[in-house]
Amino acid sequence: MGEIMDRTKVMLRDLKISEVTKPTTVYVWDMDETLILLKSLLDGTYAAPFSGLKDKKRGIEIGKQWENLILKVCDEYFFYEEIEDYNEPLLDALSEYDDGRDLSKYNFNNDGFGFPYDDLNKRKLAYRHRSIKEKYSQGLHKILDQQTIKLWTDLYNLTDSYSDGWLSSAHDLLKQTFGRTDKGPGSISINVLVTSGSLIPSLAKCLLYRLDDVISADHVYSSWEVGKLRCFSWIKERYGGPNVKFCAIGDGKEECEAAQAMRWPFIKMDLRPTSPYRFPGLTMKVVQSFIDVAYGSSDAEVEEIKEACSTEAKLVHLTLNQLDASLPNMRTLIS
C-alpha cells in the first residue's frame, strides 16, 4: 500500500494545476446510494422507508440485473478477470510506466500479463488502463452490441421509474454544476468521484449509469485500499489553492469523517422519501448554501441564500403535506 500511495502522490504532483487563478468549486461525490442505486436495491433498504409502497422484490430483481450488466462490461471490455487483483486508486496511477506505445494492434491476450507485479507487468497494466480510458471517452454506444444497448437502456429507464427519477435527477444536478454562471465569468466547477469500490467496476458503473459526460475517467478515485481521507487529500493537493472550494456529498460515515478532517462541508444523503437530501430533492441552491456556510459569503449572497432556502423549505413542507395526504389513498389503491 505504501508503494501505491507514494507513486500516486508523485503522479498527482505531475497532474496538479500549477496555479488556480479562477474561482473553482470541486464537488467530491460518493457513488453508491448517492449518484446511483445498487446496494440498497439488492438488500431492500431503498424500498424499506416507503412502508410497502415500493415492491422490495422488484427492487432486488433490478439490482441483480445491474450486477450482471456491470460484470459483463468489466469482463468483456475492461480486462477485469485479468486485473481484478491489481486495483489502483485511479487510472493514471501507473502513467510513469506507460511508454506511449501505439495500442491499436497490441495483442492484450498474449502479452503475458500477470505475476510477478514487476515494472514490466506494471507497464502492461498501464496499457490496459489507457485502453479503458479511451473506451470510457468513446462511450458504451461505440463498444456494445445493439442487443446489449437495448438491455442497458431498458434497465436504466426501469430503475429511474422505480426510483421516481433518482438517476436522472442526480445526472441533472451534476450537469448544473458545469453550467453555473452565478459565480462570475470564468469560474470553474469540477465533479470528482471517490468510491470505496474497486476502480474498474466503478468506471463501468459510471458508464452504465450515464455519468461519463459529467465525470471524466481521470476524476474517478477508488479508496478500496487507501481510504477516503487519503483520496480527499490527493484531491486537495491536485486542485487546492486560495480560490478553490470543496464540497463532499455522500451517504457513508467514512466520507463524512474524511470531509470533517479536511474541513470541507459535507452533505449526507438520505434514502427516506421525505428527505430533501436525496434524488429527486437535492438542488444546486441547497448545495451552495452548505458551501457558503463553510467558506463564508458576502452579505448579498447570504440574503439570497436565506431567501432560496426559505422558498425550498416551503416547497419541501408542501410536498411532505401532499405526500402525507396521499398515503391513505395510495394504500387503498394497492390493498
Q: What would the pLDDT profile of 32-76 be if each residue is shown by its tens digit?
A: 999 999 999 999 999 999 999 999 999 999 999 999 999 999 999
Q: Is the pLDDT of residue 6 over 60?
A: no
Would the CA dihedral through 317, 312, 174, 18 be positive or negative? negative
CB 37 within 8 A of CB 279: no
Q: Chain-wide mean pLDDT for the chain?
A: 87
Residue that is written with C-alpha cell 470505496 in the block: 196
- Which helix (H) or strand (E) is 308 found in, with range? helix 299-334
Neighbours of 89 (CB within 10 A): 26
Q: Is the pLDDT of residue 218 over 90?
A: yes
CATH architecture of 2-296: 3-Layer(aba) Sandwich (3.40)
Q: Is 251 annotated as a binding residue?
A: yes
CB 270 within 8 A of CB 251: yes
Instruction: Output the pLDDT for position 240.
Output: 81
Q: What is the pLDDT of residues 124-180, one digit of tens each?
A: 999 999 999 999 999 999 999 999 999 999 999 999 999 999 999 999 999 999 765
Instruction: Output the pLDDT for position 167.
Output: 98
Q: How many residues does the chain have?
A: 335
Domain locations along the chain = 2-296
Q: Is the pLDDT of residue 193 over 70?
A: yes
Q: How confident is the model at residue 335 (pLDDT cuts 50, 70, 90)?
A: very low
Q: Which residues contact 161 (CB under 8 A, 6 or more apart)?
A: none
Q: Is 32 annotated as a binding residue?
A: yes
Query: Which residues are known to be catalytic?
Result: 30, 32
- The Cα 136–Cα 129 span in angstroms is 10
Residue 221 to residues 128, 198, 224, Cα–Cα distance (Å): 17, 9, 9
296 burial via Cβ count (<10 Å: 0-12, 13-18, 19+)? exposed
Mean pLDDT of 201-211: 98
Q: Is the pLDDT of residue 182 over 70?
A: no
